Structure 1
Amino acid sequence: MDCPDCGAETLSFPVPTELREFLPGDEPGAALCTRCLSLHPVADPPADQPDFQQVSTAFPGNTEAAVPMALLVGLLENLALYRAEISDLLARVEQAGTDPLLVLDRLSYDEAIDADVDLAGRRTQLEQLL
Structure 2
Amino acid sequence: MSCPDCGSDRVALRVPVDLRDHAGSETVAVCRGCLRVQPADADTADPGTPADVDEAIPDGEGGVAFLLACGKLGSLALNRSAIVELFEYAEDAGVDVYLTLDRLAETVPNPHFDVSRRLEQVDEFL
Q: Same fold by TM (over 0.5)?
A: yes
| Cα contact 1:30–1:45 (8 A) shared by 2 | no
Deviations 1:38-70 (A, max 9, x none): 11111325366523222211101x312111011
Q: Determine if the alignment matches structure 1 residue 72 to structure 2 residue 69.
A: yes
Q: Which runs of 5+ in 1 are unaligned?
A: none
Q: How many residues align?
A: 126
Q: Determine if the alignment matches structure 1 residue 11 to structure 2 residue 8.
A: no
**Cα drift, residue 123 of structure 1:** 0.7
Q: Determine if the alignment matches structure 1 residue 118 to structure 2 residue 121.
A: no
Distance 1:74 1:66, change over 3 A: same
What is the letter of the counterpart of residue 120 of structure 1? S
Correspondence for 2:92: 95
Q: Determine if the alignment matches structure 1 residue 40 to structure 2 residue 38.
A: yes
The 3-state SS of whatever aligns with 2:11 is strand
Distance 1:18 1:74, change over 3 A: same
Correspondence for 1:53: 51
What is the letter of the counterpart of residue 129 of structure 1? F
How far apart are the structure 1 equivalents of 2:111 and 2:32? 9
Runs (4+) of structure 1 moved beyond 2 Å? 43-49
Identity of aligned residues (%): 35
Correspondence for 1:81: 78
What is the letter of the counterpart of residue 35 of structure 1? G
| Cα contact 1:15–1:28 (8 A) shared by 2 | yes
TM-score by length of 2: 0.91
Q: Which runs of 5+ in 2 are unaligned?
A: none
The 3-state SS of whatever aligns with 1:31 is strand
Q: Determine if the alignment matches structure 1 residue 31 to structure 2 residue 19.
A: no
What is the letter of the counterpart of residue 121 of structure 1? R
Q: Structure 2 residue aligned with 1:63, among 57, 60, 64?
A: 60
RMSD: 1.6
Correspondence for 1:22: 22
How far apart are the structure 2 equivalents of 1:58 and 1:37? 13
